[in-house]
Homo-oligomer: A and B are copies of this chain.
Amino acid sequence: MDGSKEKIILNVGGIRHETYCSTLRTFPGTKLCSLTEPNASTLYDYNPTTKEFFFDRSAQLFGYVLSYYRTKHLHCPVDTCRSVLEEELAFWEISDAQLAPCCWLKLTNKDSQPEEFNVWDENEHADDQCLIVQVERRDFSWRARWQPKIWSIFEKPFSSLSAKCLAIISLLFIIGIVIIFCEETKAQYEYSAANLTIFGHSNVIHSIHEPYYHQAPYLLHLELFCVLWFTFEFSMRFFFCPDKKKFLRNPLNVADFLSLFPVYIELFTAEQIQKMPSLALWLGFVRVVYLLKLLKIFKLIETPLILRVLSYTLKSIIREICFLLMILAFETLFFGSLFFYSELLGIHSSYRADLHFTDINICFWWALITLTTVGYGDIIPLTIFGQVMAAFAAIFGMLTIIIPIPIFLVKFKGYYATAITKQKLKMSKKQ
Protein backbone atom coordinates (compact mmCIF):
# COMPACT_ATOMS: atom_id res chain seq x y z
CA MET A 1 0.00 0.00 0.00
CA ASP A 2 1.53 3.30 -1.07
CA GLY A 3 1.75 6.39 1.13
CA SER A 4 -1.01 8.30 -0.59
CA LYS A 5 -3.41 5.49 0.33
CA GLU A 6 -2.28 5.50 3.94
CA LYS A 7 -5.35 5.65 6.20
CA ILE A 8 -5.83 7.62 9.39
CA ILE A 9 -8.42 7.08 12.11
CA LEU A 10 -9.90 10.05 13.97
CA ASN A 11 -11.90 9.33 17.11
CA VAL A 12 -13.97 12.50 17.55
CA GLY A 13 -16.06 12.29 20.70
CA GLY A 14 -16.19 8.50 20.51
CA ILE A 15 -17.18 8.20 16.85
CA ARG A 16 -14.45 6.75 14.62
CA HIS A 17 -13.91 8.63 11.35
CA GLU A 18 -11.53 7.11 8.84
CA THR A 19 -9.93 8.81 5.85
CA TYR A 20 -6.77 8.87 3.71
CA CYS A 21 -3.86 11.01 4.79
CA SER A 22 -3.85 12.52 1.28
CA THR A 23 -7.35 13.82 1.88
CA LEU A 24 -6.24 15.69 5.00
CA ARG A 25 -3.32 17.24 3.10
CA THR A 26 -5.82 19.11 0.83
CA PHE A 27 -5.74 22.22 2.99
CA PRO A 28 -2.22 22.79 4.34
CA GLY A 29 -1.89 24.80 7.54
CA THR A 30 -5.03 23.47 9.19
CA LYS A 31 -5.06 21.31 12.32
CA LEU A 32 -6.16 18.20 10.40
CA CYS A 33 -3.34 18.59 7.88
CA SER A 34 -0.79 18.71 10.70
CA LEU A 35 -1.98 15.24 11.80
CA THR A 36 -0.28 13.77 8.76
CA GLU A 37 3.09 15.11 9.86
CA PRO A 38 5.50 12.66 11.59
CA ASN A 39 5.44 14.35 15.00
CA ALA A 40 1.61 14.43 15.19
CA SER A 41 1.44 11.48 17.58
CA THR A 42 3.30 13.46 20.23
CA LEU A 43 1.40 16.71 19.72
CA TYR A 44 -2.07 15.25 19.83
CA ASP A 45 -3.81 12.65 21.97
CA TYR A 46 -2.74 9.55 20.00
CA ASN A 47 -3.64 6.06 21.15
CA PRO A 48 -0.99 3.67 19.71
CA THR A 49 -3.11 0.58 20.51
CA THR A 50 -6.15 1.55 18.44
CA LYS A 51 -4.07 3.83 16.15
CA GLU A 52 -6.60 6.62 16.75
CA PHE A 53 -6.23 10.34 17.26
CA PHE A 54 -8.73 11.38 19.92
CA PHE A 55 -10.47 14.78 19.88
CA ASP A 56 -13.03 15.72 22.51
CA ARG A 57 -15.34 17.54 20.06
CA SER A 58 -18.82 17.17 18.59
CA ALA A 59 -18.93 14.20 16.23
CA GLN A 60 -21.86 15.54 14.17
CA LEU A 61 -20.21 18.70 12.86
CA PHE A 62 -16.89 16.92 12.31
CA GLY A 63 -18.62 14.97 9.53
CA TYR A 64 -19.10 18.25 7.67
CA VAL A 65 -15.51 19.30 8.35
CA LEU A 66 -14.24 16.04 6.92
CA SER A 67 -16.51 16.41 3.88
CA TYR A 68 -14.85 19.77 3.31
CA TYR A 69 -11.50 18.01 2.90
CA ARG A 70 -13.01 15.38 0.62
CA THR A 71 -15.09 17.64 -1.68
CA LYS A 72 -13.49 21.08 -1.13
CA HIS A 73 -16.91 22.57 -0.38
CA LEU A 74 -17.76 23.54 3.20
CA HIS A 75 -21.42 23.02 4.03
CA CYS A 76 -23.26 22.94 7.34
CA PRO A 77 -26.49 21.38 8.59
CA VAL A 78 -29.56 23.64 8.49
CA ASP A 79 -30.12 23.29 12.23
CA THR A 80 -26.70 24.49 13.31
CA CYS A 81 -26.58 27.64 15.33
CA ARG A 82 -24.07 30.15 14.05
CA SER A 83 -22.12 30.30 17.32
CA VAL A 84 -21.74 26.50 17.44
CA LEU A 85 -20.44 26.40 13.88
CA GLU A 86 -17.97 29.23 14.46
CA GLU A 87 -16.57 27.53 17.57
CA GLU A 88 -16.06 24.22 15.78
CA LEU A 89 -14.48 25.83 12.70
CA ALA A 90 -12.15 27.81 14.95
CA PHE A 91 -11.07 24.62 16.70
CA TRP A 92 -10.26 22.93 13.38
CA GLU A 93 -8.53 26.12 12.18
CA ILE A 94 -10.81 26.67 9.19
CA SER A 95 -12.05 30.16 8.23
CA ASP A 96 -15.84 30.49 8.14
CA ALA A 97 -15.49 32.55 4.93
CA GLN A 98 -15.06 29.15 3.20
CA LEU A 99 -18.72 28.37 3.82
CA ALA A 100 -20.67 27.74 0.58
CA PRO A 101 -23.15 30.54 -0.37
CA CYS A 102 -26.17 28.23 0.00
CA CYS A 103 -25.29 27.50 3.62
CA TRP A 104 -24.38 31.11 4.25
CA LEU A 105 -27.92 31.98 3.25
CA LYS A 106 -29.39 29.50 5.68
CA LEU A 107 -27.29 30.84 8.55
CA THR A 108 -28.04 34.55 7.96
CA ASN A 109 -31.76 34.10 7.47
CA LYS A 110 -31.99 32.42 10.83
CA ASP A 111 -29.75 34.93 12.56
CA SER A 112 -31.79 37.97 11.58
CA GLN A 113 -34.15 37.33 14.46
CA PRO A 114 -31.82 37.13 17.47
CA GLU A 115 -30.32 40.45 16.42
CA GLU A 116 -33.68 42.21 16.53
CA PHE A 117 -34.32 40.26 19.70
CA ASN A 118 -32.05 42.54 21.67
CA VAL A 119 -33.07 45.80 20.01
CA TRP A 120 -36.62 44.99 20.92
CA ASP A 121 -35.59 44.31 24.48
CA GLU A 122 -33.73 47.55 25.03
CA ASN A 123 -36.60 49.49 23.61
CA GLU A 124 -38.99 47.93 26.07
CA HIS A 125 -37.06 48.31 29.24
CA ALA A 126 -35.53 51.72 28.51
CA ASP A 127 -38.11 53.29 30.77
CA ASP A 128 -37.40 51.02 33.71
CA GLN A 129 -33.63 51.18 33.36
CA CYS A 130 -33.79 54.93 33.47
CA LEU A 131 -35.54 54.60 36.80
CA ILE A 132 -33.00 52.14 38.13
CA VAL A 133 -30.10 54.46 37.28
CA GLN A 134 -31.90 57.18 39.16
CA VAL A 135 -32.25 54.94 42.18
CA GLU A 136 -28.57 54.05 42.24
CA ARG A 137 -27.35 57.58 42.72
CA ARG A 138 -29.87 58.13 45.49
CA ASP A 139 -29.01 60.94 47.88
CA PHE A 140 -31.69 60.23 50.48
CA SER A 141 -33.12 63.72 49.90
CA TRP A 142 -36.86 64.35 49.97
CA ARG A 143 -37.03 64.57 46.21
CA ALA A 144 -35.12 61.37 45.65
CA ARG A 145 -37.41 59.43 47.94
CA TRP A 146 -40.71 60.68 46.50
CA GLN A 147 -39.76 61.16 42.88
CA PRO A 148 -40.26 57.55 41.64
CA LYS A 149 -43.57 57.21 43.48
CA ILE A 150 -45.08 60.43 42.15
CA TRP A 151 -43.73 59.71 38.69
CA SER A 152 -45.47 56.33 38.78
CA ILE A 153 -48.73 57.85 39.92
CA PHE A 154 -48.74 60.30 37.02
CA GLU A 155 -47.29 58.13 34.27
CA LYS A 156 -48.15 54.48 34.99
CA PRO A 157 -51.92 54.20 35.35
CA PHE A 158 -51.78 50.50 36.29
CA SER A 159 -49.11 50.84 39.01
CA SER A 160 -51.46 51.66 41.91
CA LEU A 161 -55.04 52.56 42.83
CA SER A 162 -54.26 56.26 43.23
CA ALA A 163 -52.58 56.26 39.81
CA LYS A 164 -55.72 54.70 38.35
CA CYS A 165 -57.94 57.35 39.95
CA LEU A 166 -55.70 60.14 38.74
CA ALA A 167 -55.75 58.70 35.21
CA ILE A 168 -59.56 58.61 35.23
CA ILE A 169 -59.81 62.20 36.54
CA SER A 170 -57.33 63.31 33.89
CA LEU A 171 -59.32 61.51 31.21
CA LEU A 172 -62.55 63.22 32.30
CA PHE A 173 -60.82 66.61 32.08
CA ILE A 174 -59.58 65.75 28.57
CA ILE A 175 -63.06 64.74 27.40
CA GLY A 176 -64.39 67.91 29.02
CA ILE A 177 -61.96 70.18 27.21
CA VAL A 178 -62.71 68.48 23.87
CA ILE A 179 -66.44 69.17 24.35
CA ILE A 180 -65.67 72.78 25.33
CA PHE A 181 -63.47 73.08 22.23
CA CYS A 182 -66.36 71.93 20.01
CA GLU A 183 -68.76 74.36 21.67
CA GLU A 184 -66.33 77.26 21.15
CA THR A 185 -66.27 76.66 17.40
CA LYS A 186 -69.86 77.92 17.22
CA ALA A 187 -68.98 81.51 18.12
CA GLN A 188 -66.04 81.41 15.71
CA TYR A 189 -68.28 80.11 12.95
CA GLU A 190 -70.89 82.79 13.52
CA TYR A 191 -68.28 85.52 13.48
CA SER A 192 -66.83 84.21 10.19
CA ALA A 193 -70.25 83.81 8.61
CA ALA A 194 -71.25 87.36 9.56
CA ASN A 195 -67.92 88.63 8.28
CA LEU A 196 -68.45 86.87 4.96
CA THR A 197 -71.94 88.29 4.51
CA ILE A 198 -70.68 91.85 4.79
CA PHE A 199 -67.51 91.74 2.72
CA GLY A 200 -68.28 88.93 0.30
CA HIS A 201 -71.79 89.89 -0.75
CA SER A 202 -71.76 93.60 -0.16
CA ASN A 203 -75.18 94.27 -1.63
CA VAL A 204 -76.99 92.20 1.02
CA ILE A 205 -76.29 93.59 4.48
CA HIS A 206 -77.79 91.53 7.27
CA SER A 207 -76.35 93.33 10.27
CA ILE A 208 -75.85 97.07 10.46
CA HIS A 209 -72.92 96.95 12.88
CA GLU A 210 -69.57 95.45 11.96
CA PRO A 211 -69.52 91.76 13.11
CA TYR A 212 -67.42 91.21 16.20
CA TYR A 213 -66.16 88.05 17.80
CA HIS A 214 -67.71 87.21 21.16
CA GLN A 215 -67.10 83.98 23.04
CA ALA A 216 -69.56 83.05 25.80
CA PRO A 217 -67.68 83.80 29.10
CA TYR A 218 -68.85 80.60 30.85
CA LEU A 219 -67.09 78.52 28.19
CA LEU A 220 -63.83 80.38 28.67
CA HIS A 221 -64.09 79.95 32.45
CA LEU A 222 -64.74 76.21 32.14
CA GLU A 223 -61.81 75.97 29.76
CA LEU A 224 -59.64 77.90 32.20
CA PHE A 225 -60.60 75.45 34.95
CA CYS A 226 -59.53 72.49 32.82
CA VAL A 227 -56.30 74.19 31.78
CA LEU A 228 -55.45 74.94 35.41
CA TRP A 229 -55.68 71.20 36.09
CA PHE A 230 -53.48 70.47 33.08
CA THR A 231 -50.99 73.12 34.26
CA PHE A 232 -50.80 71.40 37.65
CA GLU A 233 -50.45 67.95 36.05
CA PHE A 234 -47.78 69.07 33.59
CA SER A 235 -45.74 70.83 36.31
CA MET A 236 -45.81 67.76 38.53
CA ARG A 237 -44.83 65.44 35.70
CA PHE A 238 -42.04 67.75 34.56
CA PHE A 239 -40.71 68.31 38.07
CA PHE A 240 -40.67 64.60 39.02
CA CYS A 241 -39.52 63.37 35.65
CA PRO A 242 -36.33 61.24 35.97
CA ASP A 243 -35.01 62.30 32.54
CA LYS A 244 -35.90 65.86 31.51
CA LYS A 245 -34.38 65.64 28.02
CA LYS A 246 -36.30 62.52 27.10
CA PHE A 247 -39.45 64.08 28.53
CA LEU A 248 -39.18 67.10 26.25
CA ARG A 249 -38.35 65.01 23.22
CA ASN A 250 -41.75 63.28 23.45
CA PRO A 251 -44.09 65.15 21.04
CA LEU A 252 -47.08 64.48 23.29
CA ASN A 253 -45.43 66.42 26.14
CA VAL A 254 -44.68 69.32 23.80
CA ALA A 255 -48.34 69.31 22.79
CA ASP A 256 -49.29 69.33 26.47
CA PHE A 257 -47.07 72.34 27.03
CA LEU A 258 -48.46 74.26 24.03
CA SER A 259 -52.03 73.53 25.02
CA LEU A 260 -51.61 75.52 28.22
CA PHE A 261 -51.37 78.91 26.47
CA PRO A 262 -54.39 79.61 24.19
CA VAL A 263 -56.89 80.22 26.97
CA TYR A 264 -54.52 82.50 28.92
CA ILE A 265 -53.76 84.52 25.79
CA GLU A 266 -57.45 84.83 24.94
CA LEU A 267 -58.32 86.01 28.43
CA PHE A 268 -55.49 88.55 28.66
CA THR A 269 -55.96 89.93 25.12
CA ALA A 270 -59.77 90.11 25.09
CA GLU A 271 -59.54 93.78 24.18
CA GLN A 272 -57.17 93.28 21.26
CA ILE A 273 -59.27 90.41 19.90
CA GLN A 274 -62.24 92.76 19.51
CA LYS A 275 -60.09 94.93 17.25
CA MET A 276 -58.18 92.23 15.39
CA PRO A 277 -60.61 89.31 15.32
CA SER A 278 -58.60 86.97 13.06
CA LEU A 279 -56.45 86.42 16.16
CA ALA A 280 -59.41 84.56 17.69
CA LEU A 281 -59.42 82.17 14.74
CA TRP A 282 -55.70 81.56 15.19
CA LEU A 283 -56.18 80.90 18.90
CA GLY A 284 -58.92 78.45 17.97
CA PHE A 285 -56.63 76.79 15.49
CA VAL A 286 -53.94 76.32 18.13
CA ARG A 287 -56.52 74.69 20.42
CA VAL A 288 -56.53 71.65 18.11
CA VAL A 289 -53.60 70.49 20.29
CA TYR A 290 -56.26 69.69 22.94
CA LEU A 291 -57.27 66.79 20.68
CA LEU A 292 -53.75 65.33 20.85
CA LYS A 293 -54.39 64.75 24.55
CA LEU A 294 -56.93 62.13 23.49
CA LEU A 295 -54.02 59.93 22.45
CA LYS A 296 -53.37 59.40 26.18
CA ILE A 297 -56.42 57.13 26.25
CA PHE A 298 -54.22 54.50 24.60
CA LYS A 299 -52.04 54.55 27.70
CA LEU A 300 -55.04 53.54 29.81
CA ILE A 301 -55.67 50.52 27.63
CA GLU A 302 -53.14 47.75 28.22
CA THR A 303 -51.97 47.73 24.65
CA PRO A 304 -52.14 44.29 23.05
CA LEU A 305 -48.82 42.93 21.87
CA ILE A 306 -49.70 43.08 18.18
CA LEU A 307 -50.24 46.84 18.30
CA ARG A 308 -47.01 47.50 20.14
CA VAL A 309 -45.25 45.64 17.36
CA LEU A 310 -47.21 47.71 14.87
CA SER A 311 -46.03 51.01 16.31
CA TYR A 312 -42.44 49.72 16.39
CA THR A 313 -42.76 48.64 12.75
CA LEU A 314 -44.17 52.04 11.80
CA LYS A 315 -41.11 53.71 13.32
CA SER A 316 -38.78 51.41 11.39
CA ILE A 317 -40.41 52.11 8.01
CA ILE A 318 -40.62 55.86 8.46
CA ARG A 319 -38.00 56.37 5.71
CA GLU A 320 -39.89 54.19 3.28
CA ILE A 321 -43.14 56.04 4.01
CA CYS A 322 -41.37 59.37 3.33
CA PHE A 323 -40.08 57.99 0.06
CA LEU A 324 -43.54 56.92 -0.99
CA LEU A 325 -45.01 60.28 -0.02
CA MET A 326 -42.38 61.90 -2.27
CA ILE A 327 -43.45 59.64 -5.11
CA LEU A 328 -47.07 60.60 -4.43
CA ALA A 329 -46.05 64.28 -4.50
CA PHE A 330 -44.25 63.78 -7.81
CA GLU A 331 -47.26 61.99 -9.30
CA THR A 332 -49.48 64.84 -8.09
CA LEU A 333 -47.33 67.46 -9.85
CA PHE A 334 -46.97 65.34 -12.98
CA PHE A 335 -50.61 64.37 -13.48
CA GLY A 336 -51.81 67.83 -12.37
CA SER A 337 -49.70 69.50 -15.09
CA LEU A 338 -50.76 66.99 -17.74
CA PHE A 339 -54.39 67.51 -16.75
CA PHE A 340 -54.01 71.29 -17.00
CA TYR A 341 -52.66 71.22 -20.54
CA SER A 342 -54.94 68.40 -21.67
CA GLU A 343 -58.01 70.36 -20.64
CA LEU A 344 -56.74 73.61 -22.18
CA LEU A 345 -55.91 71.86 -25.46
CA GLY A 346 -59.23 70.02 -25.40
CA ILE A 347 -61.14 73.26 -24.80
CA HIS A 348 -59.21 74.96 -27.59
CA SER A 349 -60.19 72.32 -30.14
CA SER A 350 -63.86 72.01 -29.11
CA TYR A 351 -66.39 74.60 -27.97
CA ARG A 352 -68.33 72.21 -25.78
CA ALA A 353 -66.65 72.68 -22.42
CA ASP A 354 -66.41 75.43 -19.84
CA LEU A 355 -63.32 76.33 -17.88
CA HIS A 356 -64.10 74.83 -14.48
CA PHE A 357 -60.73 75.44 -12.84
CA THR A 358 -58.96 78.69 -12.15
CA ASP A 359 -55.26 77.86 -11.97
CA ILE A 360 -52.76 74.99 -11.96
CA ASN A 361 -52.97 74.60 -8.15
CA ILE A 362 -56.53 73.37 -8.50
CA CYS A 363 -55.22 70.78 -10.97
CA PHE A 364 -52.67 69.57 -8.40
CA TRP A 365 -55.51 69.30 -5.86
CA TRP A 366 -57.55 67.32 -8.38
CA ALA A 367 -54.59 65.00 -9.05
CA LEU A 368 -54.06 64.16 -5.37
CA ILE A 369 -57.75 63.51 -4.75
CA THR A 370 -57.81 61.19 -7.78
CA LEU A 371 -54.55 59.40 -6.86
CA THR A 372 -55.83 58.58 -3.37
CA THR A 373 -59.09 57.34 -5.03
CA VAL A 374 -61.13 59.73 -2.89
CA GLY A 375 -62.59 61.37 -6.01
CA TYR A 376 -64.76 64.21 -4.69
CA GLY A 377 -65.93 65.13 -8.17
CA ASP A 378 -65.58 68.90 -7.75
CA ILE A 379 -63.02 69.07 -10.57
CA ILE A 380 -63.73 66.67 -13.41
CA PRO A 381 -62.15 66.36 -16.86
CA LEU A 382 -64.58 67.53 -19.51
CA THR A 383 -62.56 66.74 -22.63
CA ILE A 384 -61.40 63.40 -24.01
CA PHE A 385 -57.75 64.41 -23.44
CA GLY A 386 -58.38 65.18 -19.80
CA GLN A 387 -60.34 61.98 -19.28
CA VAL A 388 -57.46 59.89 -20.61
CA MET A 389 -55.11 61.68 -18.16
CA ALA A 390 -57.59 61.10 -15.33
CA ALA A 391 -57.77 57.41 -16.24
CA PHE A 392 -53.99 57.12 -15.97
CA ALA A 393 -54.02 59.03 -12.68
CA ALA A 394 -56.69 56.70 -11.26
CA ILE A 395 -54.73 53.57 -12.27
CA PHE A 396 -51.45 54.95 -10.91
CA GLY A 397 -53.22 55.88 -7.69
CA MET A 398 -54.50 52.33 -7.36
CA LEU A 399 -50.97 50.95 -7.83
CA THR A 400 -49.54 53.47 -5.34
CA ILE A 401 -51.97 52.19 -2.70
CA ILE A 402 -51.04 48.56 -3.36
CA ILE A 403 -47.25 49.05 -3.36
CA PRO A 404 -46.63 49.84 0.33
CA ILE A 405 -48.56 46.77 1.53
CA PRO A 406 -45.79 44.16 0.98
CA ILE A 407 -43.10 46.36 2.54
CA PHE A 408 -45.19 46.89 5.60
CA LEU A 409 -46.12 43.23 5.79
CA VAL A 410 -42.56 41.90 5.54
CA LYS A 411 -41.30 44.19 8.30
CA PHE A 412 -44.32 43.55 10.52
CA LYS A 413 -44.03 39.77 10.33
CA GLY A 414 -40.37 39.84 11.37
CA TYR A 415 -41.00 41.99 14.42
CA TYR A 416 -44.14 40.08 15.37
CA ALA A 417 -42.40 36.69 15.41
CA THR A 418 -39.63 38.14 17.60
CA ALA A 419 -42.07 39.76 19.99
CA ILE A 420 -44.12 36.57 20.42
CA THR A 421 -40.97 34.56 21.25
CA LYS A 422 -39.79 37.26 23.62
CA GLN A 423 -43.05 37.21 25.52
CA LYS A 424 -43.03 33.42 25.83
CA LEU A 425 -39.42 33.49 27.06
CA LYS A 426 -40.41 36.05 29.71
CA MET A 427 -43.35 33.95 30.87
CA SER A 428 -41.27 30.75 31.06
CA LYS A 429 -38.64 32.58 33.13
CA LYS A 430 -41.28 33.82 35.58
CA GLN A 431 -42.45 30.27 36.22
Chain B's closest residue to A297 (CB) is B326
- Contact, CB under 8 Å: A301 / B285: no
- Contact, CB under 8 Å: B294 / A344: no
- Tell me whether chain A's interface is mostly helix, strand or loop, or mixed: helix
Known interface pairs A5-B45, A84-B73, A345-B278; A421-B391 also in contact (CB < 8 Å): no
- Contact, CB under 8 Å: A284 / B407: no
Known interface pairs A66-B13, A326-B297; A319-B341 also in contact (CB < 8 Å): no
A258 at the interface (CB under 8 A from B): no
CA distance A282 to B384 in the complex (A): 16
CA distance A178 to B330 in the complex (A): 11
- Contact, CB under 8 Å: A337 / B288: yes
Min distance, Cβ A56 to any Cβ of chain B, angstroms = 5
CA distance A195 to B409 in the complex (A): 52
CA distance A79 to B113 in the complex (A): 18
Known interface pairs A13-B18, A310-B407; A391-B413 also in contact (CB < 8 Å): no
For A370, list chain B residues within 8 Å (CB): 374
Min distance, Cβ A11 to any Cβ of chain B, angstroms = 6
User: Which one, B292, B361, B402, B406, contacts A384 given CB within 8 A?
Assistant: B361
A43 at the interface (CB under 8 A from B): no
User: Which one, B108, B303, B372, contacts A421 given CB within 8 A?
Assistant: B108
| Total interface residues in chain A, CB < 8 Å | 153
CA distance A103 to B56 in the complex (A): 23
- Contact, CB under 8 Å: A291 / B333: yes
User: Which one, B281, B294, B428, contacts A345 given CB within 8 A?
Assistant: B281
Interface stretch (choices A125-133, A138-146, A242-250, A352-360): A352-360
- Contact, CB under 8 Å: A14 / B5: no
For A358, list chain B residues within 8 Å (CB): 189
For A17, list chain B residues within 8 Å (CB): 13-15, 59
Known interface pairs A193-B355, A337-B288, A409-B405; A101-B114 also in contact (CB < 8 Å): yes
For A167, list chain B residues within 8 Å (CB): none
Chain A positions 1-28 with a Cβ under 8 Å from a chain B Cβ: 5, 7, 9-11, 13-20, 23
For A7, list chain B residues within 8 Å (CB): 54
- Contact, CB under 8 Å: B66 / A75: no
Chain A positions 378-431 with a Cβ under 8 Å from a chain B Cβ: 378, 380, 384, 387, 390-391, 394-395, 397-399, 401-413, 416-417, 420-421, 424-425, 428-429
CA distance A179 to B114 in the complex (A): 49
Chain B's closest residue to A202 (CB) is B351
A241 at the interface (CB under 8 A from B): no
For A199, list chain B residues within 8 Å (CB): 351
For A397, list chain B residues within 8 Å (CB): 372, 374
A272 at the interface (CB under 8 A from B): no
For A209, list chain B residues within 8 Å (CB): none
For A34, list chain B residues within 8 Å (CB): none
CA distance A83 to B103 in the complex (A): 11
CA distance A144 to B18 in the complex (A): 60
A19, A111, A429: most-surrounded residue (chain B CB, <10 A): A19
- Contact, CB under 8 Å: A373 / B374: yes
For A424, list chain B residues within 8 Å (CB): 108
- Contact, CB under 8 Å: B79 / A355: no
CA distance A200 to B383 in the complex (A): 15
- Contact, CB under 8 Å: B83 / A359: no
Chain A positions 290-347 with a Cβ under 8 Å from a chain B Cβ: 291-292, 294-295, 297-298, 301, 303-304, 306-307, 310, 317, 319-321, 323, 325-326, 328, 330, 333-334, 337-338, 340-342, 344-345, 347
- Contact, CB under 8 Å: B45 / A67: no
- Contact, CB under 8 Å: A18 / B288: no
Min distance, Cβ A242 to any Cβ of chain B, angstroms = 29
For A10, list chain B residues within 8 Å (CB): 14
10 smallest A-B Cβ distances: which pairs? A78-B79, A14-B18, A374-B375, A14-B17, A376-B377, A372-B394, A285-B341, A406-B412, A377-B377, A406-B409
